[in-house]
Structure 1
């Protein structure tokens, strides 16, 4: 397996309108961090049911 650029990546998920843009700007201001734009996942859902 080839070496990874990031040995342990971290993914942060947040609710809509809870401040993810501000968090992204703060994280992205650090020279060794990369904080891409938000993914809009509002069309995805989870449904619990019996098989």
Structure 2
């Protein structure tokens, strides 16, 4: 494991067909230089009560 860990949690939008935010190569180079590992965690849709 690296020196830092980031976990980005997300839930897909209804009707989404792709696209969205991009993690740039510049950001990836910075993460590599500081020893950061990135995890993407997909969650089921949340229901508001």
Asked if these proteins are the same fold (TM beyond 0.5), I'd say no
TM-score (norm: length of structure 2)? 0.35
Give the structure with higher Rg (CA). 1
Bigger RCO (CA 8 Å, 6+ sep): 2
Structure 1 or 2: more strand by fraction: 2
Instruction: Tell me the TM-score normalized by structure 1.
Output: 0.34
